[in-house]
Amino acid sequence: MTYTPFKTLSIFAIMALAFIPFSASAATSKVSCEVTVKTSFDEASFKNKGEVLVQKGDEVTISWEGKNATKVIDADKDEVDLEDSITITPDEDETYSYTFTNKSKKATCSVNVVVIDASIDEDTLTTDNAKPTISGEAEGAKSVRLLITNEAGKTVFKSKTIRTKKGEWKARVTKTLKDGSYDVTLFGDKNAEIDIIATGTLVVGEGSTSASNSSTKKGGMLSISAIPLLSGGNAAAGASIPVAYIKVANPGKDAASIDGFTLKQNGSASTNTIASFATNDDKSGSRFTTSGAGLFKNGSTFVGLPATIPPGQFRIFTIKANLNASSGMSAGQTLMLDVASVTTGAALGGSFPIGGVTWTLTN
């Protein structure tokens, strides 16, 4: 009889121990997931639903992963790996959805990718007006916002919501800006998780000139070379095609700046097949879109991207040509865009022209 309590307690202890692992197992069987979107500007993750704004022609990486799942189905009802990623260049809005399941349990993560064709007009980024008006395009966005920061990273102007009209926007800076250089960031709709859609450099001061004519910052030295990664190929109407990867290195002891590149068409196709150019910088995420009537003159065009490169560093610039939707009318003809020169105030090393790859136009 003296051992009965011990036996009774042992039975209860065994039952308790058996119950604890069962509860833990039930808890850990809950399925969860996460989708991460990375653009040239930023990165964001979503555990349920999300939305991102991406620049038209930009490469976007979407990755997904889950916990306690045995199967994953994408938006097309196709089974995919439990953890993987895709890289896309979207030209229209689309939702990417992934459903993770484990027997009767499931979780769905999705992201809506909204494509914006945005730019900041270069002509409005060099001025002697202390309260300049900056404008640009933002096709696909109902509204935008503008942020201006000084060289120390301090915000000097932040606009209210700017409604776009027929894909265009305009903002008047209400703060008086001192002479100097400022970083300009264009944001999209405020409810988006990643909403940086364009950046640029504003130069304020008497005697400021257009970036297409001269460099905004003088001095230093730069070395220019091509990165031989492109092989060309066929290009359909409306496509966005890379035409040059350029490495700009600063071997000197002082910062040096560039304003952009001059391209020359040496192929057989008319330059009218090109609607615009998109240029971006791999380190800072700066980008510019060059478009409009009279894009080419005598077969040459200036593609802007003001950037300052610190001493001992380098930048990789990607230049893409966005083709007109009607460019298929020139099927069989070729685009071969050489980098003829770089606009900079620095001493320049490198051999020009830098030969471009050949793209054959298709319907």
Write out the DSSP string of 167-201. TEEEEE--SPPPSEEEEEEEE--TT-SB-EEEEEE
Task: Give the model's pLDDT for residue 226.
Answer: 84
Task: Give the model's pLDDT for residue 307.
Answer: 83
d(CA 169, CA 175): 19
Note whether 296 and 242 are same-domain residues.
yes
Predicted confidence pLDDT, tens digits, the chain (363 residues): 444 444 444 444 444 444 444 434 444 579 999 999 988 777 889 998 999 988 777 778 999 999 999 999 999 999 999 999 999 988 889 999 999 999 889 999 999 999 888 888 877 887 888 999 999 988 888 899 999 988 778 899 999 999 999 999 999 999 999 988 788 888 887 767 678 888 777 888 743 433 333 344 566 788 888 887 777 889 998 888 999 888 888 887 888 888 889 999 988 998 889 988 888 887 655 567 776 667 888 888 988 888 888 888 888 888 999 898 876 678 889 999 999 888 888 887 777 788 888 999 997
Note whether 40 and 150 are same-domain residues.
no
Domain stops at, among 116, 147, 172 = 116
| 161 in Cβ contact with 179 (< 8 Å) | no
Residue 233, domain member (yes or no): yes
Strand order in the sheet with 43-46: 43-46, 32-38, 60-67, 84-88
| Dihedral, CA of residue 294, residue 330, residue 342 and residue 248, to nearest 10 | 140
Residue 22, domain member (yes or no): no
Task: Give the model's pLDDT for residue 328.
Answer: 65
Provide CB contacts within 8 A for 8, sequence distance 6+.
none
Structural domain range at position 177: 117-204
d(CA 88, CA 149): 31
Q: Are strands 49-55 and 105-120 parallel, antiparallel or unpaired?
A: parallel
Residue 129, domain member (yes or no): yes
Note whether 65 and 47 are same-domain residues.
yes
Note whether 351 and 273 are same-domain residues.
yes
Report how many domains make up the chain.
Answer: 3
d(CA 192, CA 39): 13
Residue 2, domain member (yes or no): no
Note whether 130 and 175 are same-domain residues.
yes
Beta bridge partners, 274, equal: 323
Residue 340, domain member (yes or no): yes
